[in-house]
Chain A
C-alpha cells in the first residue's frame, strides 16, 4: 500500500516504533543515518550539509560575528511560532545586533527518547522555512538522543556566523548623552503567548508571538550610513532588562517616556490580569537601536519600511542623570526607576 503524501522526503513509515524517537536514532548507526537522510537534511536543503562531512567548509570575505544560543522553550509550539522558528530567529537576531548579516547556522538537537516523529518533522520544517526566510544557510549539525524523562521533548542549540557590516563597533560602550533610543515596535507579545500556551490561559483573542528575523532593518540602517551606536534585541527580561544592561555597562543614564512605548491592548489586558509589567515581558522580534539624535528621524523612516519594525518610534534618550540608571516617566508625569527583572516572572497573588 502506498500513501500519497504529495512531494515529501519525510520518513514514510506510517506506524510502529518508527513513529517515535528511539535511543538508536542518536547512536551513530543505521537508524541515525536514516533519520538524518529522511527527516532532517531534506528539511534544511543545503548542499554543504548534504556533503555529510564532519564539518562545514566556509569562506567569508570580511570580519565575522559569531554567536550561539540554546532553546528549551516549553511548550514546543505556541501561537506565532515554535522552538524551531525561535532557534533560527534568536541566533540570527543576535548576529544582527552585532551589526552583522546572518549567513550560516549550525543546528544541534538533543532529542528525548519517545518524542513523536511528527513533532520532530514539524520542528525541522519550521527551522528550514525560518532559515530560508532569514536568508540563512544551515551548514552543519548534530543529533543526540537522551533517555525518556531526561529532556523535555527536544532542546536545540544553534550557533551562527554573520558578515560584519558595521564599520564602527556597535555596543553599549558607544552610546553618548543625547542619543535617541528607538524601539522597533510593540512589546510583550512573545512572553504572553508562551504564558497563555503554558498555563492554558484562555484570552478572548489569540496573542501571537512576535518571533521574527530583524536583520533586514538593521542592515538597512547600516547601509544608509546611520551611525548606529548600540543595538539590543529584547528577549528574556524584556525592554527593561535590555536597557538596564546597556545603562550599567555604558555608565550612562537612560530616560524613557512610557506613553511612547507601544503595547497592544490585549497584551496590556493579559499583563494587568497576571500582574506583569510589559517592560519585563519577553519578545523575539523586537529591538532597540540607539543612534545620535540627529540621525533619529532618518533611522525611524528606514525602519518603518520593514514590516518587522514598522512601529519604530523614539521612546527615550541617553541623558544626564545618575550613571547606570534607567528611569521612565509615567502617565502622571512622575518618573520611576526601571530595574531588571528579579528572579522568575511570577504573578502576584491578589
Chain B
C-alpha cells in the first residue's frame, strides 16, 4: 500500500540504521515526543536496530496519559447526571479516576457513547435535543482543530444542548518543562509530526536556540523515525541545534492556516496541570470567552483542583522520560492493561502499554541507570 509499505521497508531501515551507526561517535539521548512514535518504536523494534550509544527516551505525548484525574472525575460526574449523554474517544473510558473509570460509570447506568469524531457527538446532540450532550475534548494540537470545529458548528447552528469538557494540552510548553527538569538527560527531540502538521514548526525555533537542542519534526512510520534519529544525531555530532523537518510530506513551516485560524477563534491558551508532570504555564487550550456557553464547566460546575494519586506507580517519571516502563517493579506483575496502576498502562498510546503489548514481560535491554 502506497505511503505505508515504503516506510516499513526492512532493507531501507537497515541502511538508515547503518548510517546512524557510522555517524555517532559518542552516546546520545533523544526523546520522541509522541506516543504514536513510541508505539512504532516498540512495535517494530526500531530501538533494537540502533547502536547501543543512541538511547530513545519516551516522551509525554499521550493525551490520555496526561489528562488530570480531576477531569476524569468530572466526566464521570457529568455522565451520571440524569438526562445527560457523555461522548468520548474510546481510550478515555478505561482511565482510572479517583473512584473508578468511565466504563464503571457506564455499567452503573451512565449514558456514555464512544465516538470517532467530535462531530459525531454534535450529531447526537442534534438528534436528542431534550438531552444535554457533553463531549470530552482531550488531546494535543492534533485533535484540537476537529474539536474547535465542533464548538464552532454548535455555536453557529445554535445547538443549545451541546457542550465540551475541555482538557487540551500543548507540546512546546511540555518540552520546555522537561528540559527545565533537574534530572533531564534529553539532548535532542523527535517532535510530533501530526502536531506540527497543524501548528507548523516556528514555535520550536526558540526552544532549539535557548536549550541548544536539535529538534527534528518526525513522522510515525519506522523509516520516518530512523530518518529523524539520523538527522538528530547528525546535528548533535556537528554541534548544531536547529529545527529540521523530516516529515515534509505532511508538515509545512507555517502549519495549516485554516486550522490555526479556527483554533485562535475558539480556544485561548491557559495554564494546565498535566497528570504525572504537574502544573505548566500556558500549556493548554481552554474555550475562549466567546464560547463560554459551550464550556461544560460553565454549565455543570468547574473542575475541582486535584492531585495525582500516590502509590507505587512510576508513570510520572515515565512521562517525563526519567524511567523506562520495565524499570518499574510493578510492570507486568501488579500492573497490567487489565489491572492498571497508572495511565501509561491504560492508553493505547501509553509507553507502559506499548512495552507490555509488544515486548511482553522480559525487558529486551538493561534498564537505564
Residues of A within 8 A of B (CB): 199, 201, 265, 268-269, 272, 274-275, 322, 325, 330-337, 339, 342-344, 346-350
Residues from chain A with Cβ under 8 Å of B43 in the complex? 330, 336
Is B94 engaged at the interface, CB distance under 8 Å to the other chain?
yes
Contact, CB under 8 Å: A349 / B138: yes
Which one, A325, A342, A350, contacts B349 given CB within 8 A?
A350
6 more CB-based (< 8 A) A-B contacts, given A332-B44, A332-B49, A339-B356:
A269-B1, A274-B116, A330-B44, A331-B9, A332-B14, A349-B92
* Contact, CB under 8 Å: B45 / A350: no
B222 interface residue, CB < 8 Å from A? yes
Residue from A272, A330, A337, A350 with most neighbouring chain B CB atoms (10 Å): A350
Q: Are B63 and A346 in contact (CB under 8 A)?
A: no
| Total residues of chain B contacting the partner, CB 8 A | 43
Q: With A265-B1, A331-B9, A336-B359 in contact, is A350–B116 under 8 Å at CB?
A: no
Q: How far is the CA of A201 from the CA of B120 in the complex (A)?
A: 11
Could you list 11 A-B pairs, sorted by A, with CB under 8 Å?
A: A331-B9, A332-B10, A332-B44, A334-B45, A335-B45, A336-B358, A342-B337, A346-B93, A346-B94, A346-B114, A350-B143
- Bound CA–CA A325/B362 (angstroms): 11
Chain B residues near A322: list those with CB within 8 A. 360, 362
Could you tell me the distance between the alpha carbons of A332 and B140 in the complex, rounded to whole angstroms?
30
- B90 proximity list for chain A (CB < 8 A): 344, 346-347, 349
> Which 8 pairs across A and B sit closest by C-beta, in order of nearness?
A334-B45, A346-B90, A337-B360, A349-B89, A342-B337, A348-B348, A336-B358, A331-B8
A349 and B139 form a contact (CB under 8 A): yes
Please determine whether A350 and B36 come into contact, CB atoms closer than 8 angstroms.
yes
Complex Cα gap A335–B362 (Å) = 13
- Known contacts A339-B356, A342-B337, A350-B63: A332-B45 contact under CB 8 Å: yes
Per-residue CB contact flags for chain B residues 164-175 toward chain A (1 = under 8 Å, else 0) read 000000000000
- Residues of B at under 8 Å CB distance from A? 1, 4, 8-10, 13-14, 36, 42-46, 48-49, 63-64, 89-94, 114, 116, 138-140, 142-143, 194, 222, 337-338, 347-349, 356-360, 362
The answer to whether B1 touches A268, judged by C-beta atoms less than 8 angstroms apart, is yes
Query: Which of A336, A339, A343, A346 contacts B45 (CB under 8 A)?
Result: A336
Residue among A265, A269, A272, A347 making CB contact with B116, cutoff 8 Å = A347
Q: Closest chain A residue to B8 by CB distance? A: A331
Contact of A343 among B4, B194, B337, B358 (CB under 8 A): B337
Q: Is the CB of A325 within 8 A of B10?
A: no
> In the complex, how many angstroms separate the beta carbon of A186 from the nearest chain B beta carbon?
14
B162 nearest CB across to chain A (Å): 19
Tell whether, in the assembled complex, residue A348 and residue B349 are in contact, meaning their CB atoms are under 8 Å apart.
Answer: yes
Whether A331 contacts B222 by the Cβ 8 Å rule is yes
Q: What is the chain A residue whose CB lies nearest that of B2?
A: A265
Instruction: With CB as the reference atom, state the residue of chain B lying closest to A274.
Output: B116
List B contacts of A269 (CB < 8 A): 1
A349, B94: Cβ atoms under 8 Å? no
Q: Give, as a whole number of angstroms, the nearest-CB distance from A222 to chain B.
A: 35
Complex contact B44–A349 (CB within 8 A): no
Q: How far is the CB of A281 from chain B (nearest CB, A)?
A: 15
Bound-state CA distance A350–B61 (Å) is: 10
Known: A269-B1, A349-B143. A334 touches B357 (CB 8 A): no
Is A350 in contact with B360, judged by CB distance below 8 angstroms? no
CA distance A333 to B91 in the complex (A): 30
Given known contacts A322-B362, A332-B44, A350 and B8 CB-to-CB distance under 8 angstroms:
no
Residue of B10, B138, B142 most packed against chain A (CB within 10 A) = B10
Q: Is there contact, CB below 8 Å, between B348 and A275?
A: yes
A334, B142: Cβ atoms closer than 8 Å: no
Looking at the assembled complex, report how far the CB atom of B211 sits from the nearest CB atom of chain A, in whole angstroms.
26
Q: How far is the CB of B217 from chain A (nearest CB, A)?
A: 16
Find the A residue at minimum CB distance from B90.
A346
The reply to whether A334 and B44 form a contact with Cβ atoms under 8 Å apart is yes
A333 partner residues in chain B, CB cutoff 8 A? 10, 14
**For residue B1, which residues in chain A have a CB less than 8 angstroms away from its CB?**
265, 268-269
CB < 8 Å neighbour of B10 from A201, A331, A343: A331
Q: Residues of B contacting A274 with CB < 8 Å?
A: 116
**Pair A268/B4 contact, Cβ less than 8 Å:** yes
Given the interface pairs A348-B349, A349-B143, the reply to whether A343 lies near B94 with Cβ below 8 Å is yes
Nearest chain B CB to A80's CB is how many angstroms away?
22
User: B residues within 8 A CB of A331?
Assistant: 8-10, 13, 44, 222
- In angstroms, how far is the closest chain A Cβ from the Cβ of B110? 16
Residues of A within 8 A of B92 (CB): 349
Do A350 and B357 touch across chains, with their CB atoms under 8 A apart? no
User: How many angstroms from the CA of A259 to the CA of B148 in the assembled complex?
Assistant: 40
Contacts of B8 in A (CB 8 A): 331-332
- Which of B13, B42, B63, B356 contacts A349, CB < 8 Å? B63
Least distance between A149 CB and chain B CB atoms (Å) = 14
Interface residue from A199, A268, A332 paired with B13 (Cβ < 8 Å): A332
Determine which residue in A331, A333, A334 has the highest number of CB atoms from chain B within 10 A of its CB, and name it. Answer: A334
Q: B348 near A346 (CB under 8 angstroms)?
A: yes
* Nearest-neighbor residue (CB-CB) of A334 within chain B: B45
